[in-house]
Structure 1
Amino acid sequence: MKRKYKKLIKCLILDAIGMVSATLPVIDVIWAPVAASISYRMFGDKRGKYTSIITFIEEILPVTDVIPSFTIFWFLFDFLKIGKKAEKDNPAVDTDFIEIPNTETDK
């Protein structure tokens, strides 16, 4: 089985745990930070910052536990590959090493 589909199965399981946590608010308080941490590690540093915040809010608020946030993130980032093409087409430039000539001292 491909690695991305193994990740999908993990996402489905994590979403199921989140839905079960809706039955007891006490579990939600514990599950929300755990889910946010898992989301951060699962989707990387750049996207993980945003996915973890969204996951935390979704898990801590009542009634929103039915939203399958892990699966939605997998669909966007791993299946549709949103954000991957932009990174390849426009690679980040490290501005710390760009030298700007000083026109006053170059004269």
Structure 2
Amino acid sequence: MKEEIIVKDEKNKKLLMGLLFDGIGMLSFTIPLVGDFADVIWAPLAGFLMTYMYKGRVGKVAGILTFVEEILPFTDIIPSFTLTWIYTYYIQKKE
């Protein structure tokens, strides 16, 4: 029972952190010229955070995809942290 609560808390914490990080990534999209410079800083940080949050193959692949998504122009709208959370806790869980 106690282990189930810890897992649920971790799941919720990752969702909230992912929403926050997706929001930060989308902020650079709203500022036309500053956003491109901010992406150069945010992209590697977002890739690292993704790898840190999700261990194993999922974290590595998601970290690379997040880096690419953040560094490419006009892709900041994609909520990569939230999509990884959905994949981890709903899609992968079913397999």
- Structure 2 gaps of 5+ residues are 1-7
User: Deviations 1:24-68 (Å, cap 9, x if unpaired)?
Assistant: 110000000000000011110221110011000100011100000
Aligned residue number for residue 18 of structure 1: 25
Question: What do residues 76-104 of structure 1 show as CA deviations (whole Å, max 9, x unaligned)?
Answer: 102x150x566xxxxxxxxxxxxxxxxxx
Q: Structure 1 residues 69, 44: CA separation in 2 closer, same or farther (over 3 Å shift)?
A: same
- Give, in whole Å, the separation in 2 of the partners of 1:32 and 1:6: 22
Q: What is aligned with 2:12?
A: 5
Query: Aligned residues, how many?
Result: 84
**Larger deviation: 41-50 or 60-69?**
41-50
| TM-score, reference length from structure 2 | 0.81
Query: 2:63 corresponds to which letter in structure 1?
Result: S
Alignment match of 1:77 (pick from 64, 88, 94): 88
Q: Determine if the alignment matches structure 1 residue 54 to structure 2 residue 54.
A: no
Partner residue, 2:55: 44
Shift of 1:18: 0.2
State the partner residue of 1:90. none
- TM-score w.r.t. length of structure 1: 0.72
Q: Distance in 1 between matches of 2:16 and 2:78?
A: 16
Give the number of the structure whose alpha-carbon radius of gyration is greater. Answer: 1
The CA RMSD over aligned residues, in Å, is 1.6
Runs of 4+ with >3 A deviation:
none
Cα distance in 2 for residues equivalent to 1:53 and 1:20: 20
Structure 1 partner of 2:38: 27
